[in-house]
Amino acid sequence: MTTLDQRLDNERTNALNFLSTAADADAVEALRVAVLGRNGSLTALLRELPSVPADERPAAGRLANEVRGEVEGAIQARLDELHSAAMEDLLAADALDMTDPGRPVRIGHLHPIMTVERDFREIFHSFGFEVFEGPEIETEWWNFEALNIAPDHPSRDLWDTLYVAEPGSVEAGEPRPAEDGTILRTHTSPAQIRAMQALTPPIRVITPGRCYRNDAVDASHNFEFFQVEGLVVDRDTSLADLKGMLEEFARALYGEGTRTRFRPGYYPFTEPSVAFDIGCLVCGGPGCPACGRSGWMTILGAGMVHPVVLRAGGLDPDEFQGYAFGMGLDRITLLRHGIPDLRLLMGADLRFLEQFNGGR
Ligand code: DAH
């Protein structure tokens, strides 16, 4: 064996030894550069071949090629090994245990006010009403003027309405209502106007939704509350239709034996206007603190749509008449569950709300 043969053999032994323990692809690459790279140790030996005596050169050349082939093969084999080991680790770490019991998903439920609203939707749906929703941010025109509420009407007072501030006026330390009259709607009635403008009679809609007032919060008042508005417009509607429909509604909601009565009322947007009462849900008649000892509870206001309102809705009062009604959902919800304080409904206290998860 020539010394070159000997050194080639050593080179092979060292490289294969190193590769058999190389811990990762970086170590393998470092070896490749050190052995096979331009300045690598095996490359240096190959460069010596031309100076080997001519008769020994073929054998030395064969051995050199053999060693290079072996080292290259061992490098690839070690890389493959490392790769599949890494893959196995990954699979082991990611393993899915199919016998692991599932984690329960928390399923929410409707807020008790929404359950009442759904009941209303269902009842009115069965009467042929569709749902038409209006925006919570309105302007004074939609919320008041279009509904025949004059600028000097008490509900136009700053006290009742939450006004959106004129841009910049708050920052300037002088908050004032927006010049374009933007407000938070104080009732769902503006949706009547929107429904009349959007739909073609005959119209039968309810417009449920959230309303806002600048009210001091106490057990029976809140700055946000829910209403359901109803509107029917056709060529031939009457107060008798309104009366029959509301009586049916009260029976659908509270049962066949429900007592009802109509009283004269006043709303700027209806003429004539009525208040609709049902027999007290707490005492059933004789009178108690909940009904002011009258035996009756007023659940909604209603009436025949005022001609001014029909015109604001783009309809000719000589051709069409209609009736409308509006009621609050919050108090009905309190009565349904015997809840003593409105603030509980909006308090976002899960210990309270979770009592109502028997509903839909
Ligand atoms: N918008 C009235 C309120 O907030 C309720 C109401 C009364 C609506 C009579 C109506 C109606 O549509 O005809 O107090």
Q: What is the pTM of this model?
A: 0.72
- Of 267, 298, 309, 332, which is best to mutate to test ligand 1, by the most ligand atoms within 8 angstroms of its C-beta? 267
Q: Could you report how far apart the first and last alpha carbons of the chain are, in Å?
A: 92
Question: Which residues' Cβ are closer than 6 Å to ligand 1?
Answer: 187, 189, 229, 267, 270, 301-303, 324-326
Cα 267 to middle of ligand 1, angstroms: 7
Q: CA-to-CA distance for 269 and 81, rounded, in angstroms? A: 84
Task: Give pLDDT tens digits along the chain (360 positions).
Answer: 568 889 999 999 999 999 999 999 999 999 999 999 999 999 999 999 999 898 988 998 999 999 999 999 999 999 999 999 999 999 988 888 889 898 888 888 999 999 999 999 999 999 999 999 999 999 999 999 999 998 888 777 766 899 999 999 999 999 999 999 999 999 999 999 999 999 999 999 999 999 999 999 999 899 999 999 999 999 999 999 999 999 999 999 999 999 999 999 999 999 999 999 999 988 988 999 889 999 999 999 999 999 999 999 999 999 999 999 999 999 999 988 989 999 999 888 989 998 988 644
Mutual orientation of helices 25-36 and 41-48 as an angle, nearest 10°? 20
- Cβ-Cβ contacts under 8 Å for 116 (sequence gap 6 or more): 329, 332, 333, 336
Q: Spell out the alpha helix ranges (H) of 207-341.
A: 239-254, 307-312, 330-337
Measured between alpha carbons, how far is 30 from 89 in angstroms, rounded to an integer? 24
CA atoms within 13 A on the CB side of 331: 15
d(CA 153, CA 161): 12
Mutate to test the pocket of ligand 1, among 142, 189, 323 (most ligand atoms within 8 A of CB): 189
